[in-house]
Amino acid sequence: MTDPQIAIPSRAPSATTADDTVMPFEVAKLDLRGRVVRLGPVVNEILARHAYPQPVAKLLGEAIVLTVMLGSALKIDGRFILQTQGDGPVRMLVVDFIAPDKVRACARFDKSRVTAAIESGDAGGTTLLGKGHLAMTIDQGPDMSRYQGLVALDGRSLEEVAHEYFLRSEQIPTRVRLAVAEELRAEAGGAQHRWRAGGMMVQFLPKAPERARVADLDPGDAPEGTAPHAVEEDDAWVEGQALISTVEDVELIDPSLSSERLVYRLFHEPGVRVFRASPLRAECSCSRANVEAMLKSFSQDDRDHMVEDGKISVTCEFCSAYYEFAPADVGARI
């Protein structure tokens, strides 16, 4: 094994921006693996197209960063879907990452409850989501079994929910940072709003698995007086968490700070190795053939009820593409 102190970094950090990329990195000395996601035009295209209320857009932006971060780490040929369902003003968020580089997203929300939340000054992500669950699904096609992980949403941020997911399902100590912001730029024709987003994840993956032990989660319904489960955390993981906790939102979204410079700024002391960044695109996977197949999978009764003015019309919730079918095309009766 090469000595990280000597071998890293292997070249000078790039000074250029890293918009719409995900870049893996490794801090060998601390047994950390991580990824940095930086989104410019991709997140702006998705959020601007939907024109959601600002707090809804910001929350969906966080979900997009988290999905890209997790989905791009899976070596799959297929789709990684993150979906929330809750009783808050935002009923549902759906983000699809289609390997290797496509992302699409949409939200369903109750407009009057979102407006009320904004007016009351409490439109943060945890309020908007309410209680419910977050599901992460890996879909590798009809012939493969789907894998689904579920975490409760109970007034916690998406960052906290991600930590719990990794602790419970994968037993990997993980820290995630997510940031979304709206950038205002003076341009001909007036101020232009643009969405930007970024995130970072580090995971503690020591060769000896017993080093990755962490305290159990809050026992919840344990009898009163039960001492919380305490485990002394590994020094390397303590240091790794301390370092990622210093990342500021503004660094994650700064268009002039490259991902390489960002991780170098944080981890230059233990030494960090960066891997090739991969590009990301905002692109929907809907098509006339897909929509037709979906309609044909509905019951006869459902199809019949979809006929309006002698036709069936479907608008893609992700990208607003509009599809129109004659009832006979999909076996519906007028």
Kindly state the smallest distance separating residue 251's Cβ from Zn ion, in Å: 33
Query: Quick one: which segment of 117-125, 183-191, 195-203, 310-318 binds Zn ion (CB under 5 A)?
Result: 310-318
Window 39 to 58, contacts with Zn ion (CB under 5 A)? none
Window 261 to 280, contacts with Zn ion (CB under 5 A)? none
Query: Quick one: which segment of 134-142, 155-163, 228-236, 320-328 binds Zn ion (CB under 5 A)?
Result: 320-328
Kindly state the smallest distance separating residue 286's Cβ from Zn ion, in Å: 3
Instruction: Determine the Cα angle at 131 with ends 130 and 132, to 5°.
Output: 120
Nearer to Zn ion (CB atom), residue 97 or residue 318:
318
Query: Quick one: which segment of 19-27, 41-49, 268-276, 315-323 binds Zn ion (CB under 5 A)?
Result: 315-323
Kindly state the smallest distance separating residue 92's Cβ from Zn ion, in Å: 16
Phi, psi of 37 (to 5 degrees): -115, 130
What distance in Å separates the CA atoms of residue 168 and residue 163, rounded to the nearest whole number?
Answer: 9
200 strand-pairing partners: 36, 177
What distance in Å separates the CA atoms of residue 122 and residue 115, rounded to the nearest whole number?
Answer: 10
Burial 152-178 (b: 16+ CB within 10 A, else e): ebeebbbbebbbebbbeeeeebbbbbb
Nearer to Zn ion (CB atom), residue 267 or residue 318:
318
What distance in Å separates the CA atoms of residue 256 and residue 211, rounded to the nearest whole number?
Answer: 37
Q: Which residue has the tokens 């369902």?
A: 85
Which of 73, 118, 135, 321 contacts Zn ion by CB under 5 A? 321
| 316 near Zn ion, rule: CB under 5 A | yes
**How many residues belong to the chain?**
334
| 318 near Zn ion, rule: CB under 5 A | yes
What distance in Å separates the CA atoms of residue 49 and residue 66, rounded to the nearest whole number?
Answer: 20
Which of 158, 280, 286, 332 contacts Zn ion by CB under 5 A? 286
| 284 near Zn ion, rule: CB under 5 A | yes
Query: Quick one: which segment of 116-124, 147-155, 195-203, 316-324 binds Zn ion (CB under 5 A)?
Result: 316-324
Task: Let me know: does 76 contact 128? Beta carbons within 8 Å.
Answer: no
Task: Let me know: does 212 contact 171? Beta carbons within 8 Å.
Answer: yes
Which of 99, 118, 205, 319 contacts Zn ion by CB under 5 A? 319
Name the amino acid, one letter, at 219: P
Kindly state the smallest distance separating residue 317's Cβ from Zn ion, in Å: 8
The kind and range of the H/E element at 162 are: helix 158-165
Nearer to Zn ion (CB atom), residue 129 or residue 282:
282
Kindly state the smallest distance separating residue 139's Cβ from Zn ion, in Å: 16
What distance in Å separates the CA atoms of residue 95 and residue 70, rounded to the nearest whole number?
Answer: 11
Query: Quick one: which segment of 177-185, 225-233, 284-292, 298-306 binds Zn ion (CB under 5 A)?
Result: 284-292
What distance in Å separates the CA atoms of residue 294 and residue 81, rounded to the nearest whole number?
Answer: 18
| 205 near Zn ion, rule: CB under 5 A | no
| 105 near Zn ion, rule: CB under 5 A | no
What distance in Å separates the CA atoms of residue 108 and residue 63, rounded to the nearest whole number?
Answer: 13
191 strand-pairing partners: 186
Kindly state the smallest distance separating residue 321's Cβ from Zn ion, in Å: 5
Query: Quick one: which segment of 215-223, 251-259, 288-296, 313-321 binds Zn ion (CB under 5 A)?
Result: 313-321
Site size toward Zn ion (CB under 5 A) is 6
Contacts with Zn ion, residue ranges (CB under 5 A): 284, 286, 316, 318-319, 321
